[in-house]
Amino acid sequence: MNEYIKELSAREEEELRKTIRELLRQSCILETKYDAAKGTLKDNPRYGFCMRHREFLTDYFQVMGLELVYDPQDHFFRLTGQGAGSERFGETSTLLVLLMKLIYRDKILGKGLKATVTNLEEIRRYGSETGILTRKLTEREVAEALSLMKTHQMIELPCAIADVEDGTPIYLYHTINVFCSGAAIGQLCRKYGVKEEADENA
C-alpha cells in the first residue's frame, strides 16, 4: 500500500485521504449529487476518484475489517462493517427512514425519477395516514433524523437543518433503500401493517 501511495502525486494523495475520511464519515459516495441551487443533479468528482482507485480502497478498508461495496446499478460506493457508522439509528430515526422509503417508492412508481422530492409536511401526512407516527415529533428528534440521513447520503437539503421548515424541499437519494437493517425495517412494517415491499432493498 505504501508503494501505491508513493506513486501518487501530492494532489492525488490528498484526494485519497479526503476520500477515505469521507467514506468513514458518511458511508456512501454517490455518482451524482443534487444541486439545490439549480434543482438538478450534478456529477460527484469523488465518485470518479473511487472508480480509479477502487482496488486500493477495497484493500485498504479490508485491512480495517470493513468492506467497500460498489453498486453498479445505482452507481454508488458504500462502506459496510462494524465501525462504518451505518447502523446508528434510533427508533424515531428508523421510523422516519421507513416513511422516506414509502414516499420514495410511491414517487418513483407514480411520477418517475425526477419527482423524488418531499418535505416535512408530506412526511407527517404519510406518518399519520399509515399510523407510523402516533405523536408529534420534537424539533430535536426531526433534526437528529435529518442529520443522520444527510450524513449517510440519503437526502439532500437546500439549507442548514436548523432552517428546514414544513415546505422546505428534501431531495431523496436512492440510497434511502439501503440503510437501517432489514430486520429493523421489517419489524416496523409488520408492527404498523405496512406492506414490506418498502423494505425489499434494505
**Integer Cα distance of 145 and 135 in angstroms:** 16
**Integer Cα distance of 169 and 38 in angstroms:** 13
25 pLDDT tier (thresholds 50, 70, 90)? confident
Query: Which range has highest mean pLDDT (29-43, 82-96, 137-151)?
Result: 137-151
| pLDDT of 197 higher than 80 | no
Q: Is 30 helix (H, G, I), strand (E, B) or coil?
A: strand
| pLDDT of 71 higher than 70 | yes
Mean pLDDT of 15-42: 89
User: Of the candidates 88, 187, 178, 183, which has an alpha carbon nearest to the alpha carbon of residue 132?
Assistant: 187
Please indicate whether residue 170 or residue 202 has the higher confidence score (pLDDT): 170
pLDDT at 36: 76
Residue-wise pLDDT for 128-182, tens only, equals 998 888 899 999 999 999 998 998 899 999 999 999 999 999 999 988 887 755 5
Q: Is 33 helix (H, G, I), strand (E, B) or coil?
A: strand
pLDDT at 202: 39
- What 22-27 contacts at long range (C-beta under 8 Å, 24+ apart), as own/partner pairs, is 22/46, 23/57, 23/61, 23/68, 23/77, 23/79, 24/79, 24/84, 24/85, 25/85, 25/151, 26/85, 26/151, 26/152, 26/153, 27/78, 27/79, 27/80, 27/84, 27/85, 27/86, 27/152, 27/153
Half-sphere exposure of 106 (CA within 13 A, CB side): 12
User: Of the candidates 137, 129, 141, 145, which has an alpha carbon nearest to the alpha carbon of residue 194?
Assistant: 129
198 pLDDT tier (thresholds 50, 70, 90)? very low
pTM as predicted: 0.79
10 pLDDT tier (thresholds 50, 70, 90)? very high
Delineate the domains of the chain, giving CATH numbers in brackets: 2-80 (1.10.10), 91-199 (1.10.10)
| pLDDT of 184 higher than 60 | no
Half-sphere exposure of 179 (CA within 13 A, CB side): 35
